[in-house]
Amino acid sequence: MHILHIDSAVTGEDSVSRKLTADIVARLTSKNPGATVTYRDLNEGVPAIDTEWYRGVRLAPENPTAEQQKRIDASDAYLKELQDADVLVLASPIYNFGITAQVKNWIDQITRAGITFRYSEAGPEGLLKGKRAIIVYSAAGTPKGSELDFASGYLRHILGFNGITDVEFVVADRLAMDRDAGLARAQEALDNLAA
């Protein structure tokens, strides 16, 4: 088993999602002693896609410019980490009712036509099949599944669009209202995770 462990919170050591992703990875590796882990902290910066990215990555010129090659190399690195993973453990703290800019930038980097999905006569088909995703959803005030939650449905959809349909959530929400209860719900979900 190879695990891709992704954090994204800007809160550093105070982050609930960082603690929970670490707990999940520890649980998975303890139950699967041969497991390997690739760690990426999106808070260190994920470039947003831009015109040079489009010209280099999407148009795939035979002789890319130096700037285009830089975009290609970065996007390919994110993509390879995901392709090599059997399990994705993704921290998704909720900021302003949605996913963080860092997570969105990462999604834009790895969602690539002809590589992670393709269009057919039957419609889009995800190509990253056979992977499992465990998403840590942490929020101060946004209950998962509520009309205020613009993150969890999107994450389930975009991962499925890319072929990852085995998606589970470990939820620590409403932390500003009752932190202990939110953490208890997350611990219960963690305890029930199959390793």
Residues 92, 87: Cα–Cα separation, whole Å: 16
Tell me the residue type at 38. T
Binding annotation: 15-17
Q: Which pairs count as long-range contacts for 47-52, CB under 8 Å and 24+ apart, including other chains?
A: 47/71, 47/74, 47/105, 47/109, 48/101, 48/105, 48/108, 49/105, 49/108, 49/109
Structure tokens at 39: 């760690």
Binding annotation for FMN: 15-17
Residues 19, 53: Cα–Cα separation, whole Å: 33
Residues 175, 195: Cα–Cα separation, whole Å: 26
Q: Which residues contact 159 (CB under 8 A, 6 or more apart)?
A: 88, 133, 165, 167
